[in-house]
Amino acid sequence: MLKNYFKLAIKVLGRRKFFTFISLFGISFTLMILMLITAFLDNELGPNAPLSEKDRMVFMSRIKMTLEVKDTIPLVDSTLVDGIMRYDTTYDYSNRNSSTSISSYSYSFLDKYMRKVDGASVESIYSPGSSFDVFINNNKLTLSAIYTDAPYWSVYDFEMLEGRTYQPQQVANQAQVVVVTDKTARGFFGRSANVLGEMIELDGKNYEVIGVVKAPTINKRFVNADVFIPLTNLNARNLSDESFFGGFEGAFLASDASKVNRVKSDLVRKSTLITLPNPEEYNTLTVMPMDYKERYARSIYYRGDDPKKSARIVFGSLIGLLLLFVLLPTLNLVNVNISRIIERSSEIGVRKAFGAHSGTILFQFVFENIILTFLGGIIGFVLALVLIQVINDSGALGDAILRFNFRIFLYSFLICLFFGILSGLIPAYRMSKMQIAKALKQNQL
């Protein structure tokens, strides 16, 4: 049965080449763009190294401290009553923020107050955002560095290419060792393998390369760096500084994804127990634990200290835009399909006259449309592969490298199916409801 439908569909496609072209053009480009978007989103949000465990991660990257003072706000309301001005003043007694600071944490804050978090199996403190200029044969290389502790490597599962990462013992001993990415090794030593034991001079110190990891393809400053250095190599003042503000952030790995909220609430609970050292300067402290999605959304759309709201707005508008984008080609396809199905009314008439159910006809036309969609899907897939190559080569997305994997293939397949059913349903439904007499009369057999 399906084989017959398939043959029929191919025959029909060959009959009206111009219409087939219009349909395939629309389908293949729409699916190509959807596949590209899927590949991009997978790179940003999918479980890829070094963020494979992003569902279990909780970040502490921002602390907010405010000075709230009680203030009386008079509100003078004037009305004209019988030509005489009357005043009505109300006094509002409320909190006013007189100064607010938002920053990343200091090492001592995270180390002192944010340890032994309920539900978290690994805790890491690190300081992203240092950069060094190094010159090799008069070529400048700007190396970005992250100073990390040893658990950093358990939170983020970098793909190890060579050697190993530093151990807690080495961090404690201020070992002058570094882990570099393959990209750094290529830039610095001219080769991406066999660089273990080589030395790199940074900030006046000589570091021995003990490991090479694969450079992350995601452009996030907490994982995307060229070298990773044990944080004890920082100036000792950075670690002992008692102020709450500093250049560090914390990452917590919940023991499983369902415990993320427990980790978050325990972090908030711990923060409420802290007595502030200098209440004249700041008298309230807010920590903002975020999961990966919230942190991602917050970096796109900053919504004060409410990462949940950011996540809702960003992902909501993303889905809205995608739907809007898909709707247009779908409508176009529906339009074209309605036109071309009419020419087959005689066929439907005959089939119905011989006892075919509406459901059978509906199924046949939707099935034909799905075949058409998958043809377009294959073309779109090839186009997407080519375009991904072009985009990766041009470096238009910075460090992001788009790749196809099984997951994206599966998503693409589902997209094709959804698109095929969506655009085939209305025309097929109309045809299946057609009166036999009308269908037979309309066309000469």
Partner 1 sequence: MIKHIFTLIWNKRRKNFLLFLEIFLAFAVLFAVFTFAVQSFRSYSSPLGFDTEDNWIAFMEWDQDLDSTALLDMKLRLERELEDKPQIISAAYVGNITPFSGSTWSTTTDDNGFELSTRLVEGDEDYLETAGVNVIKGRHFNEDDYNAKYQAIIFNQLLVESTFGDKPVLDSVILLNGEKKVVGIIDHFKYMGEFSEEANLTVSLKPKSSRDLGNLQMRLAPGTPADFEAEVNRTISEITKRNDFIIQNLDTERIEESRDTWVPLIASLCICAFLIINVALGLFGVLYYTISKRRAEIGLRRTLGATKAVISRQFVGEVLLVSGAALLIGIFFAIQLPLMNVMDIDDINYYLSIGFTSVLILSVVLLCAFYPSRQAANIHPAMALHEE
Q: Which residues bind partner 1 (CB under 8 A)?
A: 18-19, 21-22, 25-26, 29-30, 33, 130-133, 135, 138-140, 142, 202-204, 237, 324-325, 327-329, 331-336, 338-340, 342, 396-397
Task: Please name which of 279, 439, 436, 293 lies closest in space to residue 355, comparing C-alpha atoms.
Answer: 436
Cα–Cα dist 223/158, whole Å: 9
Q: Pick between residue 83 and residue 204 the one whose CB is nearest to partner 1.
A: 204
For 12-119, strand residue ranges (E) read 57-81, 84-103
Contacts of 334 (CB under 8 A, 6+ apart): 423, 426, 427
C-beta of residue 259 within 8 angstroms of C-beta of residue 289: no
Minimum CB separation of residue 354 from partner 1 in Å reads 26
Q: Pick between residue 112 and residue 205 the one whose CB is nearest to partner 1.
A: 205
User: Taking the CA of residue 405 as centre, how many other CA atoms within 13 Å lie in the half-sphere pointing to its CB?
Assistant: 12
Q: Pick between residue 151 and residue 329 the one whose CB is nearest to partner 1.
A: 329
For 235-282, strand residue ranges (E) read 249-254
C-beta of residue 32 within 8 angstroms of C-beta of residue 383: yes
Cα–Cα dist 235/246, whole Å: 13
Minimum CB separation of residue 332 from partner 1 in Å reads 4
Q: Pick between residue 25 and residue 418 the one whose CB is nearest to partner 1.
A: 25
Cα–Cα dist 44/296, whole Å: 9
Q: Pick between residue 274 and residue 313 the one whose CB is nearest to partner 1.
A: 313
Minimum CB separation of residue 210 from partner 1 in Å reads 21
Minimum CB separation of residue 321 from partner 1 in Å reads 8
Q: Pick between residue 253 and residue 333 the one whose CB is nearest to partner 1.
A: 333
Minimum CB separation of residue 339 from partner 1 in Å reads 4
C-beta of residue 189 within 8 angstroms of C-beta of residue 195: yes
Minimum CB separation of residue 189 from partner 1 in Å reads 19
Cis peptide bond upstream of 168, omega within 30: no
Q: Pick between residue 160 and residue 338 the one whose CB is nearest to partner 1.
A: 338
Cis peptide bond upstream of 279, omega within 30: no
Minimum CB separation of residue 397 from partner 1 in Å reads 7
Q: Is 228 exposed, middle or buried (0-12, 13-18, 19+ CB in 10 A)?
A: buried
